[in-house]
Amino acid sequence: MHILLIEDETDLRVLATEGLRRRGFVVDAAGSLAAARDCLGVVRLDAAIVDRRLSDGEGLSLLPELARHGVPSLVATAYGDIEDRIAGLNAGADDYIVKPYDLDEVAARLRALLRRPGQRMAPVLVQGRLRLDPAAQQAWLSDAPLDLGRRELALLQLLMEAAPNVVVRDTVQDRLYTLDEAVSPNALEAIVSRLRRRLAPAGCGIENRRGIGWRLIQGEAPC
């Protein structure tokens, strides 16, 4: 999942960004409303974490823009009175959490948001003997866990969700990398190659559509 974290406290922004990345999220971070608006429409976001007290305005003012882009929002703020929570939810927040928060709870709330009807997070994906649980961040071949890195797992989810269609290269890059990460010309090919090797025992392959993207294919035996 590609998350936008909007938090103007530098230490917390760095800590939360690193913690959520360790929990399997792709995270872009913004320290102001202006920086957050620059991100909207540039990458395909799955959700946003929004602080309220920002240097250039009230975080709740961004919620309608997030909604127009189809991005659910988790407001994370020190404003914890019942009136504040009601104001946040009435302004369009999909969920509301009070600082200081636990990152495991934040991760669980984000995944719960994306399981709601109309949101993007898929239930457990199954292709023959291949199974992937996005919430647990784990894939299995039959009942044996697959040892996949974060980006390999994200790529596998994209391919399984789209199968048998092609996932275009730009979509893969947006989902696997943040805006400030440098992506070398061969970086995506290296991830595809590693995942292809992991899937070979399942009879699955990854077909390269040169200049377009990739798709998941099956051999004679189902995946």
Q: What is the pLDDT of residues 21-49, one digit of tens each?
A: 998 899 999 999 999 999 887 788 899 99
pTM: 0.66
Structure tokens at 21: 């990345």
| pLDDT bracket for residue 130 (50, 70, 90) | confident
**Confidence (pLDDT) at 118:** 56
| pLDDT bracket for residue 222 (50, 70, 90) | very low
The percent of residues above 70 in pLDDT, for the chain, comes to: 94
Amino acid type, 27? V
Are the CB atoms for 177 and 165 separated by under 8 Å? Answer: no
- As a three-state string, the secondary structure of the chain is CEEEEECCCHHHHHHHHHHHHHCCCEEEEECCHHHHHHHECCECCCEEEECCEECCEEHHHHHHHHHHCCCCEEEEECCCCHHHHHHHHHCCCCEEEECCCCHHHHHHHHHHHHHCCCCCCCCCEEECCEEEECCCCEEEECCEECCCCHHHHHHHHHHHHHCCCCEEHHHHHHHHCCCCCCCCCCHHHHHHHHHHHHHHHHCEEEEEECCCEEEEEECCCCC
C-alpha 23/C-alpha 13 separation (Å) is 15
| pLDDT bracket for residue 220 (50, 70, 90) | very low
* Neighbour count for residue 56 (Cβ, 10 Å): 12
